[in-house]
Structures are given as structure tokens and as C-alpha cells.
Structure 1
Amino acid sequence: MPQSRQIPVFDGHNDLLLRLHLAPHRRERIWLTGEGRGHLDLPRMRSGGFVGGLFAIYVPSPRDTSLGNFETLMDHPPYDLPLPAAVPQSEAQAAVLSMAAHMIWMQESSRGAFRICRTMAEIEAARASSVIAGVMHLEGAEAIDPDLLSLHAFHAMGLRSLGPVWSRPTIFGHGVPFRYPSSPDTGPGLTEAGKRLVKECNALGIVIDLSHLNEAGFDDVASLSDAPLVASHSNAHAVTPSSRNLTDRQLAAIRETRGIVGLNFATVFLREDGKRAPEIGWEPVLRHLDHLISVLGEDHVGFGSDFDGATVPEGIGDVTGLPALQQALRRHGYDDALLEKLCWRNWLAVLRRSWGS
């Protein structure tokens, strides 16, 4: 059988910046040379065909032992994990600035191999010159003030995608808890400040990410936003009934706006039993992709790996497992035209529709 070609991947979500933020003394090994940990580093990105994506800036919650160990609890469904308290803006801003600075350092230290991109023209130029394109994404808007002045500052730094919440509450809205089994209808939606945030993101050309919003918040964004609806790393609730996954009604709303859903590789959102264990084979991945494509259409599905932020299937393992994923999809009957859409074309198309350039 002839060797299948490796298709480049533009990914909707990763947490590499959090690894750098938590271990700055190891940043050269984490990013430049690789240390055999985590899912991402520059050498493995090149090996796995990772050509770009949205790099999340996520503010970690202060450690609270009363909340228990999330990962242990996810090993034993059913579960309903208590959400951490809101993070004060001053604390959040310090963490966000640290991770934004690390992303700038990634660009400066890579000797031209990685570039922060603010426009489609910059992404296309990076792709043409075999440079990894990084889009700055804010996962949870705790660092932004209610008057939205800091939103403009972050936009000037390169911010082009934003999720109003990461599950825990913010002044802008309410996230969906980590609950299995559960619907995503878990509480109130956007606040008045959150509605202003949506409109200002539209004006600035900042993608609004629906992953981690509950159903009411999703509906609020859908009614307010004039941009394509985007869920950067979410799966199908019809396959795995986790609160974090999207119902068919939500998927249809995304399709109607010509938006996108990035398939989340996190096993807790792939496995039908809601467990975290990575020993799952390819079937759960295939079931989710088949369902997403059946509801959204093949032009509105991509990948949102959650690399460095979740346990992923053992068949993927890390970014170097992307070619194995492609081979599994080929065996399942996906041709290269469809694979190209899933791997990179759909993400670039929705960013073009969102940014306009």
C-alpha cells in the first residue's frame, strides 16, 4: 500500500502557554528542544505536521483542596465537579500578561519557525513559508475590565479570539460545569457586561468562542453576534452526554452562521461513558466526527485538540500522533479532500469570514 501523504493541521485549541507559565525556568526545554513531556513542543509540532492554531491564554484557578481532584473524580462517573470561584481581575491580568509574554518569547526564540498572526494574510504568508502560525486566544475573560478598555489593549497585543468564560463564572457570564451526564442547560447566560463584550468583539474582529459557555450563554451570543459561531474545542452531546458537549440544536445554530466546531481530543468528552481513561481506540473519535459532519456539514468541522490541557486517546498520544489520526480517518472512508477540510481548510475559512482579512 503506498504511503499516504501527511496533511498539515491547523488546530483550534491548545494549552502550551500554561505549561510555560507554570514552569518558566524550563521554557527552553519545553518549547525549543522538547523534554518528552506534555503534548506540544517545536520539534514535535514539525514532526506531526502542526502548522498553526489558536494558542490559549488560560488563567489557572488558585489551588483549593476543598474542590477535590478533578481528574480523579472524572475517572468515576457520574460526576458533578464544583466550579472554582471567580478570579479577581488584577490576579487574572498578571497571569494573562505572563502568558502573552511567553507567546512573544516563543516567536523571538524560534528563529523564524513560529510567528504570531493577527490577520489571514499573515497566516497565509506563514503557511507559504513553512512557519507555524500562532493566533492569540483568551480562554476566559477575567483579565478584562467591565468598561472593556483592556480588551483594546489585548487586541493591540495580538488577541484575535476570546471565550467569555472558562466554566467558572466571570463578570461576563456563566460557564458550563464539568458534569456527566448532563445537558449544557445549567444556569443563566451572559450578563449585561457580557453582552457588551460580544458587541465589542464583533467590532474589533475578535472571534467569540462558545466552548465552556452554558446553553443560555450560547443562545445569548447567537442572538447578539453578527460573526460566525465558533466552538473551538467541543464535541457532540448526542454521542457523549457531557455538559461540555453541544446539542444538535446548538450545532445547527453554528451551521446556520457558517461557523465551526473543533473536535476536542479530551477523552472525557469523547468516551460514551464519560471516563478519562485514554485506552479507547478510534471508535469514539469516529463516532463524534461522523455525527458532527452529519449535523454541521463537512465545511464546518475541524480539530480543537486541547493538547496540553487534557488526557487524549492513546492512539494520538501527542502532536506526533496527528498522522496516525489521519490514517484512521482514511481507513474509516474519509478521502483526502475531506481530510484537508478537517485538518486546516475549514479553520482558515472561518477565520477569514470572522476577520475579513
Structure 2
Amino acid sequence: MNKVISLAHGDGGELSHRLIRDLFVKNFGHYKEAMFDASYIQLPANNIAVTTDSFVVKPLFFPDCSIGKLAVAGTVNDLAVSGAKPLYLTCGFVIEEGFSVNDLEKIVSDMANEAKAAGISIIAGDTKVVEKGSCDGVYINTTGIGIIQRQNVIPNFKSGDAIILSGTLGDHGIAILTARGELGIHVPVASDCSSLNSMLEDAVQAAGDVRIMRDPTRGGLATTLVEIAEDFSLSLVICEKDIPVKEQVQGACDLLGFDPLYLANEGKAIIIVESEKKDAVLHALHMYPEGKDAVCIGKVVKTEQPSGQLYLETLLGTKRRINRLAGVMLPRIC
């Protein structure tokens, strides 16, 4: 195979055939499906969840991760927090002319490994090659398909419901910033990118049911909680002293003027459960490496103030309203 991608790899001819056979089919399997224009799958009727996402992260490789792993984990987590069991994934690649075949193989291998770890199959895909300068190496689009296990009905939130965060904030955002090397600082933090479906399935079983689950990716914890508060007309209070942030991440935020509440995460979940189920859910989360730092950070409250708002109880004991992210803190983080 050529050492770099050429436009001929996208023209449907011999080079396209070799690329698909020797790279994608080799890593993803499903040789029989590759002989047709569609894959055949069996799913329960009227019980399907579907999500789609595009990944344009810069750089393509960052501490303990790549755009390939990110594409799988991000799609799996979108299904998992929606109450679905992820089963299948499709992927479309837009590849820049001149891109290294070795780098592409590493990305595809990372996708295959993460899919295996998540227990899903990558069953279909597409490859397009664009002229040099038309994209930053590789863009990936995914569609995830799963079986609904928990119907997304309007939750019956109650005052005192516990807000649980599955781990430390901002690891992914700071890992991306460090990998870019634009500010001349190095922070020894790896991305938290990981598929959470098995962990979240156990958490739901421990709770019997949950009010809602979300993954705080772009916009971070604060924006995600503001969206929940607004969507369901809730008042939420989180405690600054209980929010877990790695010392290295906090140090980088202090130096650069970032707020970890708004930094992106790719391996964290927010789970709101009735207060009586809090300890059971935390125990289930703590059984996984991805959930070892899980903690309750706040609760749903009754208040005379307008609902649909998020408040932070500060270290000084005061409360201030938290709004969604305004503008762009770190672009191209996923």
C-alpha cells in the first residue's frame, strides 16, 4: 500500500479497493458485508436508538487517545446516557490527500480496539479523499445504533435528588490543549476518553431507575447542567468543594484563566437519581476505573427563585448563578 493517501484512493478503483480491504476490513472485520452496499442487522422492532456525530478534533493524536478512539467512545456514550445498549456503529472518513497511511492505520486500529472494548461492531463505512489543504488530515462521521433499555419519558424529579458526577473534570480539554503545544506549557494529564456503556448500565441497575443521564462534553459540566435545569424547569445546586478536579488541571486553569466547569470531557457522565439510591449508584461506579472518582456534587432543590437555573455553592458559602458557556473556550476538542 502507498505510504500516503492519494486522490486515487477515493476514486473507487484499485487503490480504493486495496485501502478498504487491507485497512478497514482488516481492522473492522465484516468481510461479507463489505461485498454489498449495506450491512444487514437484526434489531427489535420499535425499540431502536440512533445517534450521529462528527469528529474534527485537533490534533488527531493526543495523550492516551486519538480521533479514532474518540469517535467510537463519543458515539457509544451518546447512546448509553440515552438509555440504550450500543450495538452497532457506522463510520465515514474524509481523508486529506497526502495523509500518512501509517497514521490512518493507527486511527483505524484505535477505533477497532475501542469498539471491541465497548462490545459493539463497526458494520459499515465510507471513504472520501479530498485535495490537500481541504481538511486537517482526517475527519470522521459516525452513526451509532442501539437497543432502548430505558425509555426516555419525562423524569419525575423531586427535591433532594442527587446529582452524581462520575469523575474529575476537564481532563480531555487540558489534554487537547497540551497536545497542541500552542501555549508552550506541558500538563501531564491524559484524555479521559472512554466508552462508559458497561459502567452506566450497572449504575442504572443499582438505582433501579435514574432520573436522567448526560455526558458533559462540549460546554462542560456547567453547560450540561444548565440545559437540564432549563429543559425540565429545575433548580439545581452544586457544591464547589465537592467537584473533583485534578491538581494539574486546576493549575493549568489558574494559569490560563479557564474555568474547569466549562472544560470538555469525553469519559464522564452526569447521573441524577433519587437521594435514597445515591450510595448504591456510587458503589456501582466505583467498581470501574472510569468511575473511581465518582462523587455526589449537588442536588435538586425547591426554591422561591425562578426555576430553570443552576447555582454554585462557593467555598465561601455563598451562592452564585451559573450560566451556559458563552463563546468558545477551546475549539475543535472533539
TM over 0.5: no
Q: Comparing both structures, which one devotes a greater share of its residues to strand? A: 2
- Greater relative contact order (Cα < 8 A, sep 6+): 2
TM-score bucket (shorter structure): under 0.3
TM-score normalised by length of structure 2: 0.27
Q: TM-score of the superposition, structure 1-length normalised?
A: 0.25
- Larger % of helix: which? 1
Larger radius of gyration: 2
